[in-house]
Copies of this chain bind each other. A is one copy, B any other.
Amino acid sequence: MSALSKILELHPDRLFAADPLQRDIARRLYARIQDLPIVSPHGHTDPRWFADNQNWDNATSLLLLPDHYVFRMLYSQGITLEQLGIRRRDGVAVETDYRKIFHIFAAHYHLFRGTPSRMWLDSVFHDVFGLRESLTPATADLYYDHINAALATEAFKPRALLDRFNIEVIATTEGALNDLKHHAKLKGTGFEKRVITTFRPDDVVDADRADFAANVQKLGDITGENTTTWQGYLQALRIRRAYFRDHGATATDHGHPTANTADLSLSEAEALFSRCLAGASAADAELFRGQMLTEMAGMSLEDGMTMQIHPGAHRNHNAVIFERFGPDKGADIPSPTEYVQALKPLLQKYGNEARLNIILFTLDETTYARELAPLAGHYPALKLGPAWWFHDSPEGMLRFRHQVTETAGFYNTCGFNDDTRAFLSIPARHDVARRIDCRFLAQLVAEHRLNEDEAHELAYDLTYRLAKQAYQL
């Protein structure tokens, strides 16, 4: 190690409260659950990785290019996406020297101080790659070479890492029209129960999309149903759901701009569907998305799939970036989200069904104590997903537990989702959640609001059991 370099270490007490009493309890709780298998029921890793089991290429294209948390921060400080090698839709040339891009990242690594990205990345560097010096401009080459060399080995092939990371099950997410060929390829490998898909029908239920009618047509082609009729369309969705279940899916996922739901009569729904196929108004598209959430809840009651609702992102807020680089480039911004009126039609119809598992997420933390905990603390069909996206962070998780627990308890929540495409960071992300849950429980024990034996049981439940139960894994 050079004179200038700084040690990279992960302190065993990281993220626990500094107060000795709470820290000691947190250590005891964490010691018993830190090595539990990882259950990752909601994420965005590429199933091709596990199907083909090829080595990854280099540090930049694995760690930086797919991680919008990373390049949004760099972009906010004046570094262009072209400099970072993000491919332009219009074919304009961008940086392709991956080492150079890694140097830019190293030179700006201080920007991530205080962010979860910093913590996840340091964990990947330390635990996954065994690096013991901090990332700085001086160590950028060392990092780049070391990581690339590691990535070329057998031990860093995707399936080997599934084992090393102790991932019991991981769910990817595919669109309704996806052929699931990667999942199909896994059949018979012994990994088909560990790498499963999730049914995400946004592309065939969102009539705001330019390709909606074409997608619905494809849905008909794939299923052999006449999807120009409402009943044919619904039946085609049932067929696709069954196809996904056959590839491991136990859950559906719905990423809508709002939490609005609807419960239209058959004739209203038919007329709305026809209008949407012909080119929907914004209001019709919103109403149709809402109706489809209720329809999907009904199908979940039929086929038993867990239903996830992820509302509240204003997608592609930056039109210039969207035009040049496409979606998922760090320009999605949360919006205020209303749940009490929005969910009422769906809940009136299905909220009292104890067999139904609907998991709600939010980007609007103001709804935790005001709306979501009261709803989940009453309706048998509702549970709350963990702190999501911008709030998947130590502070975000603490706010979630502090604001939700008193009204919804622990047992109307569902454990942790990593929600990531950054595969190598999955152990770090689950470790953050485990540490923060132990920290929260330790505070309750230290303040004599919970017994320590109960806290041990809860730590196990929050780490492992509740996710398996909520997603039926």
Contact = CB atoms under 8 A, between A and B. Distances in A.
Interface in A316-347: 317-321, 330-336, 338, 340-341, 344, 347
Contact of A365 (B318, B334, B369): B369
B374 A347 contact: no
A346 to B, nearest CB: 12
A76 B15 contact: no
B447 A114 contact: no
A112 B379 CA distance: 16
A348 B321 CA distance: 10
A450 interface: yes
A449 B113 CA distance: 8
A391 B395 CA distance: 19
A379 B119 contact: no
A334 B366 CA distance: 12
Nearest to A353: B78
A137 B396 CA distance: 36
A427 interface: no
A447 B378 contact: no
Interface stretch (A152-160, A288-296, A399-407): A399-407
Contact of A18 (B22, B119, B335, B363): B22
Interface residues of A, number: 92
Q: Which of A317, A394, A443 has the most CB of B within 10 A?
A: A317
Interface in A364-380: 364-366, 369-371, 373-380
A341 B314 CA distance: 9
A385 to B, nearest CB: 16
B373 A390 contact: yes
Contact of A113 (B331, B332, B338, B454): B454
A336 B458 CA distance: 32
A113 B450 contact: yes
Given A347-B318, A348-B319, A395-B402, A444 B333 contact: no
A110 interface: yes
Given A19-B19, A409-B73, A412-B76, A449 B114 contact: yes
Interface in A423-471: 443-444, 446-451, 453-454, 457-458
A318 B377 CA distance: 13
A72 interface: yes
Contacts of A447: 13-18
9 contacts: A18-B21, A19-B19, A110-B457, A113-B410, A114-B406, A333-B371, A334-B370, A369-B396, A393-B406
Interface of A: 6, 10-11, 13-19, 21-22, 72-73, 75-78, 110-116, 119, 314, 317-321, 330-336, 338, 340-341, 344, 347-348, 351-352, 354, 363-366, 369-371, 373-380, 382, 390-391, 393-396, 402-403, 405-412, 443-444, 446-451, 453-454, 457-458
